A and B are shown apart, each in its own frame.
Chain A
Amino acid sequence: MNRALAVTLGRHKRELPPAAALIAVLLAVLVAAPAFFGASNLRDLALNNAPVLIVSLGMTLVILVGEIDISVGSQFAVCSVVAGLLSKAGVPIALVPMVVLLVGAAMGALNGFLVGTLGLPSIIVTLAMLVAWRDALRWATEGAWVQDLPSDFQWFGLAPAAAQTLIIVVAIVVLMLGAWALRNLQLGRSLYAVGSDEEAARLAGIEPKRVLFGVFTVTGALVGLAAMLNAVRFNAVPSNAGLGLELTAVAAVVVGGTAITGGRGSMLGTLIGVLLLGTIGTAMTYVGISPFWAKAIQGLIILAALVADAALARFERHGSLFGRRAAAAR
């Protein structure tokens, strides 16, 4: 094998199993239901999954530092409603995304403050935020959708085709920027160090508190961006947007080969995870399996990913899948 290829494969060995699974699913669909690959279906899939991808990229950062953020779905709803209300209040559509991004970042920063600065456990903090934002929103909107939006809200007032391209391009740009930053920036490296061993990172002069704060804030901003891109696809904003989004995002990250304990994983893996989970539901309908099975199958995929990860780790450590021979011999 070509040496450069070998190095690339070695660096991405965590992404290989989900990539193989994705290819297998796509091949199966290609044989069973080629109609799946129609242009309009693919575009719908991309549009549906672009916001999910952006949120999942943020979740990747959070999980890489060894934390979790299950409040992203509620943040998503708040950002969506804020976008609608701003637009309705007459704020120019060019300004709305920036404000929504800031709102998302502010909610993320609050998580970052509680988890990073105060050192509270992220699972509890974000569980509390999940409930708090969701119910605050329910109280404020009384469950009503934001309707009668100005005409320049949907598709940013652009031609639908142009706006759709824009949404997909933004998602791809965020993905590439994120992947580049994670690998090339000092902050990206610090993130892996904190996720691998927080105390060791601290001893190397990195400030884990700041890293955590930054990660949650960036994730909040990404949630804001995703909410914005999602909201403009319709002419009304539902007040229950993003319900269950946190589960999808965590699942995509884990399926994509990022270790739930932190320190290992990549943006590329998350892309694969989003594609795998995003296509399998639609693919199943095309193949003729009841869509009611979709969630159950997704659950199985997540479980399979976790088992595969544990098996891989065990294999690397002990040289066998079940025994402890190598460890005992040492």
Chain B
Amino acid sequence: MSQVVLRATDVTKAYAGVQALERASLELCAGEVHALVGENGAGKSTLIKILTGAVQPDSGEISFDGERLARLTPASAKALGIAAIYQQPALFGELTVAENIALGIERTGRWGRVDWRARHRRAEELLGRVGARIDAEIDAGELSMPQQQLVEIARALGADARVLILDEPTASLSKEDTDNLFRVVRELREQGVGMIYISHRLEELPVIADRVTVLRDGNTIGTRDMGDVNREQLIGMMVGRELATVFPKRTVPLGDTVLELRGVGCKASGVSGIDLTVRAGEIVGLSGLVGAGRSELARTIFGLTPADRGEMFVRGQRVRIGSPADAVARGIAYVPEDRRRHGVVLEMPVSENVTLAALGNLSRFGALDFRRERELAADYTRRLGVKTASIRSLVSTLSGGNQQKVALSRWLLTKPTLLVLDEPTQGIDVGAKSEIHELMMELAEQGVAILMISSELPEILGMSDRIAVMHGGTIVSVLDRAEATPERVLARALGERTSEFQALVAAGAGPR
């Protein structure tokens, strides 16, 4: 293999006390397709942000062409020829393809005059290099998603890209478009471009990648030649951590079915054919990759994107939940994923946040009972161990873990029968994490049915009685606690697409 273009050594990065990268290293050669894999939250995105200069590492070294870089900024990354292409193309829909390609890479005449003919020629030439038959003069917004991706690659080539980062480029491509993209990737490899290729489709890696690096919990676990590993070994490297955290899981006698979904779907949010039951006292974990439809399903259950297909039963009664207010009235509580944005009202005091969903119970003849509000807020913040100067403090002054506890206490106050938690412990410190796990267990013992979304496999495996795995907007598998292993859950989350890619390999499209 030829010489190394880009090398990251022992890169670390922490966000607000949470370690995103611990010791991440990656080596990319010219003319190489280097796959980067790992679970959600393993640190892939952070590493990419560092390599494109969007984020500065806390420590570690990055070198380009063997020269150590003191500081990598988006501008210097661009000057070096490092370009990234994301799953969702970022073209300007109102501008033509040629204009999009010219943006930021074109030299203009005196006074910034545009040479339209030269621009058009350049665009056609670059489109030709990626083998795209696209009219350079139509609006980019009229192109299909895969076509837009090719335009982005053409633009990167126009900027003389030597390193191209492809972040899940095939996540929403058809087989045909995937084949076409692979052909372009191979041509670029011939031209000496080094490519970092991020994908959750492990099956396609043998087809396209030369080497693979596995990230786990912010550490580089290892780099292998693609020919030396198989899918099972890769999954093993991705999940192979011992369960360091002890989960306060206890067996709870299950009660009646609280929530039952039969063939539920929602066109707007892309979930379909959902069959699921959650019983009183049961914790059901909802696992899957980002984009598999887990949060979308939660939002449908809570009436944010109401179901337009299927039947929904709460405590055996058929219901239609058209808004969050309907859901609250049925005893459903929902703590969203992006709590900093919407789980709490940041600019309101702790006390008012705690009581916001239960104002009806707090009122006498329509007037709020402030004394009762103070008592309840004090009681719940103490029970959940919310660390705050006063219940009058604004929630924005609290740490992430304490904000999450405020969001939780709001719903506990409503005495829900079903609690939907979306990433309940994401981005909060270890101590607060186990307190929230303990709280979930206590709620389950009181007979609350809990549906928990989590991207952390140990949390899913440690807390759930059953695990529903989602892929492509539907539940593909439900595993009992006894039969669930990290490998099984992850394998199902990655989807069973093996057959079509085996066909690809068989057709002689292997890496070499």
Inter-subunit contact B347/A263 (CB<8 Å):
yes
List A contacts of B368 (CB < 8 A).
Answer: 183-186, 189
* A207 touching B348 in the complex, CB below 8 Å, given contacts A184-B367, A185-B366, A200-B343: no
Inter-subunit contact A203/B342 (CB<8 Å):
yes
* A200 touching B359 in the complex, CB below 8 Å, given contacts A185-B366, A189-B352, A207-B325: no
Inter-subunit contact A200/B345 (CB<8 Å):
yes
Please pick, from B324, B348, B359, B367, the residue contacting A196 in the complex, using a CB distance under 8 A: B348
Please pick, from A186, A199, A203, the residue contacting B366 in the complex, using a CB distance under 8 A: A186
Tell me, yes or no, whether A205 is within 8 Å of chain B by CB.
yes
Inter-subunit contact A206/B342 (CB<8 Å):
no
Please pick, from A189, A193, A203, the residue contacting B324 in the complex, using a CB distance under 8 A: A203
Task: Give A163-186 interface residues, CB cut-off 8 Å to B.
Answer: 183-186
List A contacts of B343 (CB < 8 A).
Answer: 200, 203
Tell me, yes or no, whether B360 is within 8 Å of chain A by CB.
yes
Tell me, yes or no, whether B363 is within 8 Å of chain A by CB.
yes
Tell me, yes or no, whether A190 is within 8 Å of chain B by CB.
yes
* A197 touching B342 in the complex, CB below 8 Å, given contacts A185-B368, A190-B359, A263-B347: yes
Q: How far is the CA of A24 from the CA of B290 in the complex (A)?
A: 59
Minimum Cβ distance to chain B for residue A35 (Å): 45
List B contacts of A125 (CB < 8 A).
Answer: none
Chain A residue nearest in CB terms to B360: A186
Inter-subunit contact B325/A200 (CB<8 Å):
no
Tell me, yes or no, whether A25 is within 8 Å of chain B by CB.
no
Tell me, yes or no, whether A314 is within 8 Å of chain B by CB.
no
Inter-subunit contact A186/B345 (CB<8 Å):
no
Minimum Cβ distance to chain A for residue B360 (Å): 7
Please pick, from B348, B352, B357, B392, the residue contacting A205 in the complex, using a CB distance under 8 A: B357
Inter-subunit contact B341/A200 (CB<8 Å):
yes
List A contacts of B345 (CB < 8 A).
Answer: 193, 196-197, 200-201, 204
Chain B residue nearest in CB terms to A207: B325
Q: How far is the CA of A199 from the CA of B345 in the complex (A)?
A: 9
Minimum Cβ distance to chain A for residue B328 (Å): 3
List A contacts of B352 (CB < 8 A).
Answer: 189, 192-193
Minimum Cβ distance to chain B for residue A127 (Å): 26
Tell me, yes or no, whether A202 is within 8 Å of chain B by CB.
yes
Inter-subunit contact A203/B334 (CB<8 Å):
yes
Task: Give A204-234 interface residues, CB cut-off 8 Å to B.
Answer: 204-207
Task: Give A250-287 interface residues, CB cut-off 8 Å to B.
Answer: 263-264
21 residue pairs of the A-B complex, CB under 8 angstroms, read: A183-B368, A186-B360, A186-B363, A186-B368, A189-B352, A189-B356, A189-B359, A192-B352, A193-B345, A196-B345, A196-B347, A197-B347, A200-B343, A200-B344, A201-B345, A201-B356, A202-B324, A203-B342, A205-B325, A205-B328, A207-B323
- Given A184-B370, A204-B324, A205-B329, 13 extra CB contacts under 8 A: A185-B363, A186-B368, A189-B356, A196-B346, A196-B348, A197-B341, A199-B342, A203-B302, A203-B304, A204-B345, A205-B325, A206-B325, A330-B16
Interface residues of B (CB under 8 A from A): 16, 302, 304, 323-325, 327-329, 334, 336, 341-348, 352, 356-357, 359-360, 362-363, 366-368, 370, 392, 410
